[in-house]
Structure 1
Amino acid sequence: MSTHKLDISLEQELDALKLEGRAKPTERIIEHYIPPKGNNGPRYKLEGNDNEFIRLNSNSYLSLSNHPDLIDAADKATHKFGVGPGAVRFIDGTFVYHDRLEKKVAAFTNKPAAKIFNSAYTANCGLALSISNKKTHWIGDKLNHNSIIRAMRISSIPKENKGIFKHNDMADLKRCLDEVSPGMERVVVIFDGIFSMRGDYAPINEITKICKSYDSKFKDGVITVVDDSHGIGAYGDTGRGTPEFCNAAPDIIIGTFGKAFGVNGGFICASNSIIESVRQKADTYIYTNPLSVADCAAAIKAIDICDSAQGRQLLFDLQKRTNQFRQGLEGLGKESITGPHPVVPLLVRDTTKTHDLVNYLFNNGVLVVGLTFPVVPKGDETIRFQINACHTFADINHVIELLDQFD
């Protein structure tokens, strides 16, 4: 037997993706990390390229990935227990670091309990598998992340038990709630905290208020879920993300250790009963090995740092650099989307110009992400800039000068 015929068909499908503009580019390989020096923040070197690059496409908002305390914590945990758990959680694959991290992140989000996953993606899917039944109705924001969309699909509820409201449109959220069949027992309203391509945030205070007004209509109520993967750790007075910024607490918080915390893995924080249901019913938790103890130890240290004076300083530095970049764009007359978050979109509104600007920045040592049709609608072409705490005044000023020189 051979895969020859399959290969031909797959190559035709891949060619179609290229023609549609949806094919991913060749993956660049980072081969060197250059620590901050003088007025420069960290730089990166790519395989086959002599340039040193500023990364403005990194989710590591607090720049903790290379923090010596995280590296030391991961090293000590690895030397104590090894590099892998050797089993799933139910078959003695749970180590003391898994338990400590779950208690730590639950306390950080002010929830009774937590369960950790290999990613926020698998956390979203695991939650959907755990709290859905035949009488569950799901409602989501139109611009929700793919992991939420996949979670709503994997829950196996029929199409008529799903609603989508226009992005951050509270009147349309009410419409979706009004359209829920009276036979439904529970409603789940799920949304991103920070919409990662735009840098804007869900008005959780308004969402929770509206959902509360419908809660008594359903046997199990209306449950609010935020995926705050880009928010938690990255903004809010103490780094608690979108719930803190909006001064409102959704029922369930999903997040990641892989962005502001600088490590790896995801989590669900909620009531004890919800978390036990996740433990018992989430396929994406039950049937796969957990995070390594190194990941857990580093994540514990990251949360400790976030909750310290050092963490507050990192948040302050991040906000300063974010404000500097946003003001720089405004000074150049560039169009963006207002928001407090270090995701800063530059609306280019032209596919060719977006590609040209991404290449221009690359050739001048700056890594960014360009979003063009059909990934975004024609006229919404965007470059996403992501500010990190390690970026210096000189770094941001250099990028603004490059944008000013681009014609």
Structure 2
Amino acid sequence: MTTEKLDKSLQTELAALAAEGRAKAPERIITEYIPPANDSGPRYRLAGSSREYIRLNSNSYLSLSTHPALVQAADKATREFGVGPGAVRFIDGTFSYHAALEKRIAEFVGMPCAKIFNSAYTANCGLALSISSPKTHWIGDQLNHNSIIRAMRISNIPSANKGIFKHNDMEDLKRCLDEVPPHIERVVVIFDGIFSMRGDFAPIDAILKVCKPYDDKFKDGVITVVDDSHGIGAYGATGRGTSEHTGVRPDVIVGTFGKAFGVNGGFIAASDTIIEAVRQKADTYIYTNPLSVADCAAALAAIDICDSDQGLDLLDHLGTITTVFRNGLRNMALESIDGPHPVVPLMVRDTARTHDLVNFLYENGVLVVGLTFPVVPKGDETIRFQINACHTHADIDYVLGLIKVFVNKVVPQVPQNVRVTRFSSAGAWA
């Protein structure tokens, strides 16, 4: 027995992915972290290169992963209990740090109870397994994260019990609610808080307003769920994310410790009863080891920082330099999507030029993510910039300067009244 025949079939499938433009590039390996110095933020070295890079593709919005308080907390917990739990949660794999983190994150997001997971991805899947029934109907935003889409698929409900509404379109959400079959007893409306490739946010206040008249129509009501993984810690007056920004809170909040908090893991925060159902029914919680105590201790330290004057200062700086970057793009007449979040998309709307700009930035020491056809539709090609609190004004000026050089370089000199290839405020290379 060998895998020779399977290997051959998989090679054909992988070649097809490459031909379609959907294959992932080889993974770059970070080999060195260089701390901030003078007026520059941290830099990174990659395997095979001596260049120092600025990361504008990191989810670590508050730049806490190297914070001494987190490192010390993780070290202390590891010395107390070791590097791994040795069992799943219900077989004595629950340590004091797990319980403390669940209590702390519930308090932080303003919910009665919480349960932590290895990731927000497994949290979304666990939630779906826990609250779905044959008479449950799921409704989601069309731009929801893959983890939500996967959760809806594994929720063991018929395809007829699912609806998708146009992105942030309240009239279309109403249409989906109107089309729920009459036998349904429970409706779940689920959406991202921050849409990670765009930086725009779900209008939770408007969503709740649309859902409220339908709540009495169903035996178990309409349950609203936000995955605010990119929001919590990264914006809102005190870093509470999209709920704080919109002034309302949905029924369930899913989040992560792996972005603004700079650690690992995810969580579900909701009522005591929902969380107990998760504990009893979520396969992705029950049958896997939990986070290490080091992760939990570091996450606790991160939340404490976020909830302090130091955290507010980081959030203020993050907001300031995000505004500087957004204004810099605007001053060059480049198109983005407005919003307060540090995810800043540059709408290039051309596959070749997106690749060219990503490579140009890479060659000059800047790491960013480019999204091109067929990953996104033709005309929606985008470069995602992610601003972090560790970035300095000098860093942002440097990156804006590179973009300006690139734009000026690729715009040809042509006679007046002839259409030129350039970024327009209308949003296209026109």
| TM-score, normalised by the number of residues in structure 1 | 1.00
Deviation of residue 210 (structure 1)? 1.1
2:301 alignment partner in structure 1: 301
The residue type equivalent to 2:103 in the other structure is K
In structure 2, distance between residues paired with 1:250 and 1:307: 21
Q: Secondary structure at the match of 1:92?
A: helix
Deviation of residue 220 (structure 1)? 0.3
Deviation of residue 156 (structure 1)? 1.1
The residue type equivalent to 1:175 in the other structure is R
The residue type equivalent to 1:346 in the other structure is L
1:291 alignment partner in structure 2: 291
2:417 alignment partner in structure 1: none
Q: Secondary structure at the match of 1:291?
A: coil
Deviation of residue 180 (structure 1)? 0.4
Confirm or deny that 1:386 pairs with 2:357.
no
Q: Secondary structure at the match of 1:123?
A: helix
Deviations 1:162-211 (A, max 9, x none): 00000000000000000001211110000000000000000000001111
Deviations 1:325-363 (A, max 9, x none): 000000111110001100000000100100010000000
Any gaps of 5 or more consecutive residues in structure 1?
none
2:347 alignment partner in structure 1: 347
How many matched pairs? 407
In structure 2, distance between residues paired with 1:315 and 1:239: 7
In structure 2, distance between residues paired with 1:43 and 1:57: 13
State percent identity of aligned pairs.
75
In structure 1, distance between residues paired with 2:208 and 2:308: 29
1:328 alignment partner in structure 2: 328
Deviations 1:217-240 (A, max 9, x none): 000000000000000000000000
Q: Secondary structure at the match of 1:361?
A: helix
Confirm or deny that 1:371 pairs with 2:361.
no
In structure 2, distance between residues paired with 1:109 and 1:312: 16
Q: Secondary structure at the match of 1:31?
A: strand
The residue type equivalent to 2:383 in the other structure is I
Deviation of residue 288 (structure 1)? 0.1
Confirm or deny that 1:16 pairs with 2:22.
no
Question: More deviation in 208-217 or 253-262?
Answer: 208-217
Give runs of aligned pairs for residues 115-264 of structure 1, distance below 5 A: 115-264=115-264
Q: Secondary structure at the match of 1:248?
A: coil
In structure 2, distance between residues paired with 1:19 and 1:319: 40
1:399 alignment partner in structure 2: 399
Deviations 1:366-405 (A, max 9, x none): 0000000011000100000000000000000000000000
Q: Secondary structure at the match of 2:58?
A: coil
1:99 alignment partner in structure 2: 99
In structure 1, distance between residues paired with 2:50 and 2:359: 16
In structure 2, distance between residues paired with 1:152 and 1:304: 33
Runs of 4+ in 1 over 4 A off after TM superposition: none
CA RMSD of aligned residues (A): 0.4
The residue type equivalent to 1:311 in the other structure is G
2:418 alignment partner in structure 1: none
1:114 alignment partner in structure 2: 114
Deviation of residue 309 (structure 1)? 0.2
The residue type equivalent to 2:191 in the other structure is F
2:424 alignment partner in structure 1: none
In structure 2, distance between residues paired with 1:369 and 1:103: 35
In structure 1, distance between residues paired with 2:226 and 2:398: 36
Deviation of residue 213 (structure 1)? 1.3
1:52 alignment partner in structure 2: 52
In structure 1, distance between residues paired with 2:150 and 2:58: 24
The residue type equivalent to 1:208 in the other structure is L
The residue type equivalent to 2:118 in the other structure is N
In structure 2, distance between residues paired with 1:148 and 1:121: 8
The residue type equivalent to 2:252 in the other structure is I
Q: Secondary structure at the match of 1:13?
A: helix
Deviations 1:282-308 (A, max 9, x none): 000000000000000000000000000
Q: Secondary structure at the match of 2:140?
A: strand
2:82 alignment partner in structure 1: 82
In structure 1, distance between residues paired with 2:179 and 2:214: 12
The residue type equivalent to 1:91 in the other structure is I
2:360 alignment partner in structure 1: 360
In structure 2, distance between residues paired with 1:195 and 1:45: 29
In structure 2, distance between residues paired with 1:205 and 1:134: 29
Give runs of aligned pairs for residues 30-69 of structure 1, distance below 5 A: 30-69=30-69
In structure 1, distance between residues paired with 2:212 and 2:123: 25
In structure 2, distance between residues paired with 1:210 and 1:368: 37
In structure 2, distance between residues paired with 1:359 and 1:256: 30
Q: Secondary structure at the match of 2:344?
A: strand
In structure 1, distance between residues paired with 2:90 and 2:74: 23
2:311 alignment partner in structure 1: 311
2:269 alignment partner in structure 1: 269
